[in-house]
Amino acid sequence: MSKNIRQQHPSFQHYRYYFIAAAVATATAGIVHLYIPFAFPMVFENLAVAIFFLGSGIAQIFWILPMLKRWGRLWYYIGIVGNAGFIILYVITLFPDNPVTRKGGSVDITALICELGQVAYILITVAILSKESKIKVKSKIAD
């Protein structure tokens, strides 16, 4: 590309904020996942559940790096799929006699904050992917 992309696309200057917003969204979900075992110590009675919350929290906190460092599309897709998986798993646990907890769950504010963070991450990352596609198409046309 011969010209600086910022000169070609004025909206690109605001593009970096998408990455910051995605990092904040995944951090929010990660903090909530890490908070749950310590706020509800009975989670530690089931070691698998405790490990799930701690592991998912660490993974979501880690995911700040791929977003802020802009590691690329593969990382963004993995983040989208991972967060979608967390959302699906959460929804499954709300149903009675579900295969995960064997009982129905309830919605509380902690879960809502976590789910909203995950949904926000997905939507923002989809916007990033869309914007990157448009930038690539425009740069190919300009060349």
The model's pLDDT over 2-20, given as tens digits with 9 standing for 90+, comes to 444 445 455 556 788 999 9
Residue 42 covered by a domain: yes
Q: State the pLDDT confidence band at 49, using cuts at 50, 70 and 90.
A: confident
* Separation CA 85–CA 88 (nearest Å): 5
Residue 28 covered by a domain: yes
What pLDDT is stored for residue 9 in this prediction?
A: 55
What pLDDT is stored for residue 10 in this prediction?
A: 55
43: buried, middle or exposed (CB in 10 Å: 19+, 13-18, 0-12)? middle
Residue 2 covered by a domain: no
Residue 124 covered by a domain: yes
| Beta carbons within 10 angstroms of residue 141's beta carbon | 7
Residue 5 covered by a domain: no
Tell me how far CA of residue 12 lies from CA of 44, 134, 135, in angstroms.
46, 11, 9
pLDDT tens profile 53-79: 999 999 999 999 999 999 999 999 999
What pLDDT is stored for residue 138 in this prediction?
A: 57
Q: State the pLDDT confidence band at 1, using cuts at 50, 70 and 90.
A: very low
Residue 124: give the domain boundaries: 12-142
Residue 40 covered by a domain: yes
pLDDT tens profile 108-138: 899 999 999 999 999 999 999 998 887 665 5
Count: domains in the chain? 1
Residue 131 covered by a domain: yes
Q: Do 65 and 76 meet the contact criterion of CB atoms below 8 Å apart? A: no
When mean pLDDT is compared over 35-39, 101-105, 113-117, the highest value belongs to 113-117
String of b and e for 113-130 (b: at least 16 CB within 10 Å)? ebbebbebbbebbeebee
Residue 112 covered by a domain: yes
